[in-house]
Structure 1
Amino acid sequence: MFHLIGQIIEMALENKLKDTKKLYESFSLVGSLTLALSLPWIIFRVFKALYLQKGFNELFGKVVVITGASSGIGEALAHGFYKQGCQVVLCARRRQELERVRSDLLHSHRTVQTHPPVIIPLDLADINTLKDQVTKIMSITGKIDILVNNGGVSHRGTVLSTSYEVDMNIMMVNYFGSVALTKAVLPDMIKRKQGHIIFVSSIQGLVSLPERSAYSASKHALQAFSDSLRAEVTSSNIFVTVASPGYVKTNLSLNALTGSGSTYGKMDHTTETGYSSKFVAMQIIKAVAMKKNEVVISTLLPKMAIYLRKYLPTVYFYIMAQRAKKSMKN
Structure 2
Amino acid sequence: MDWLLIALLLILVYLLGQAVRLLFAETDLVLQWYELFGKTPASMLGKVVWITGSSSGLGEALAYELAEAGCRLVLSARREDRLKAVKAHCIERSQLKADDILVLPLDMLAFDTHKQAVESVLKYFKKIDILVNNAGRSQRALWEKTSLDVDWEMLQVNVLGPLSLTKAVLPHMLDRREGHVVCTSSVAGKFGIPGLGAYCCSKNALQGAFDCLRNEMHDRNIHVTMVVGGPFFSELLIHAFTETADQSLGLEMKPGEKRMLTRQFAHHMAVAVANKLDEVWISVHPELVYLYINQYFPAFAKRLMVLVGQKRLQKIREGKRDLHS
When normalised by structure 1's length, the TM-score is 0.80
What does 1:147-158 align with in structure 2 at a 5 Å threshold?
147-158=131-142
Please name the residue that 2:228 is paired with. 244
Instruction: Give the whole-Å Cα distance in 1 for the aligned partners of 2:33 and 2:274.
Output: 16
Secondary structure of the corresponding residue to residue 148 of structure 1 = strand
Deviates more, 1:247-256 or 1:269-278: 269-278
Deviates more, 1:158-167 or 1:266-275: 266-275
Deviates more, 1:86-95 or 1:123-132: 123-132
1:290 aligns with 2:279: no
Deviates more, 1:243-252 or 1:153-162: 153-162
Instruction: Give the whole-Å Cα distance in 2 for the aligned partners of 1:214 and 1:221.
Output: 11
Please name the residue that 1:16 is paired with. none
Question: How far does residue 259 in structure 1 lie from its aligned partner after superposition?
Answer: 1.0
Question: How far does residue 311 in structure 1 lie from its aligned partner after superposition?
Answer: 4.0
Unaligned 5+ segments in structure 2 are 1-9, 19-29, 320-325
Q: How many residues align?
A: 287
Secondary structure of the corresponding residue to residue 236 of structure 2 = coil
Q: 1:180 to 1:270 in 2, by over 3 A?
A: farther
CA contact (8 A) 1:98 1:119 kept: yes
What does 1:178-257 align with in structure 2 at a 5 Å threshold?
178-257=162-241
Instruction: Give the whole-Å Cα distance in 2 for the aligned partners of 1:168 and 1:46.
Output: 39
The partner residue of 1:127 within 106, 111, 114 is 111
Aligned CA RMSD, in angstroms, stands at 2.5
1:325 aligns with 2:309: no
The partner residue of 1:52 within 17, 39, 60 is 39
What does 1:1-330 align with in structure 2 at a 5 Å threshold?
49-53=36-40, 56-109=41-94, 111-112=95-96, 115-261=99-245, 262-268=247-253, 272-309=257-294, 310-312=298-300, 313-330=302-319
Instruction: Give the whole-Å Cα distance in 1 for the aligned partners of 2:33 and 2:42.
Output: 17
Secondary structure of the corresponding residue to residue 107 of structure 2 = coil
Question: How far does residue 113 in structure 1 lie from its aligned partner after superposition?
Answer: 6.8
Instruction: Give the whole-Å Cα distance in 1 for the aligned partners of 2:108 and 2:314.
Output: 35
Instruction: Give the whole-Å Cα distance in 1 for the aligned partners of 2:34 and 2:289.
Output: 29
Structure 2 counterpart of 1:319, which letter?
V
CA contact (8 A) 2:142 2:316 kept: no
Please name the residue that 1:28 is paired with. none
Structure 2 counterpart of 1:104, which letter?
H
Q: Could you list the per-position Cα deviations for residues 191-232 of structure 1 after superposition, in whole angstroms to 9, with x for gaps in the alignment?
A: 111111100011111122111111111111111112111111
Please name the residue that 1:3 is paired with. none
Q: 1:199 to 1:57 in 2, by over 3 A?
A: same
Q: 1:188 to 1:319 in 2, by over 3 A?
A: same
CA contact (8 A) 2:272 2:280 kept: yes
Instruction: Give the whole-Å Cα distance in 2 for the aligned partners of 1:132 and 1:158.
Output: 38
Please name the residue that 1:27 is paired with. none
When normalised by structure 2's length, the TM-score is 0.82
Q: 1:49 to 1:268 in 2, by over 3 A?
A: closer
Structure 2 counterpart of 1:52, which letter?
K
Structure 1 counterpart of 2:306, which letter?
F
Q: 1:254 to 1:82 in 2, by over 3 A?
A: same
CA contact (8 A) 1:207 1:305 kept: no
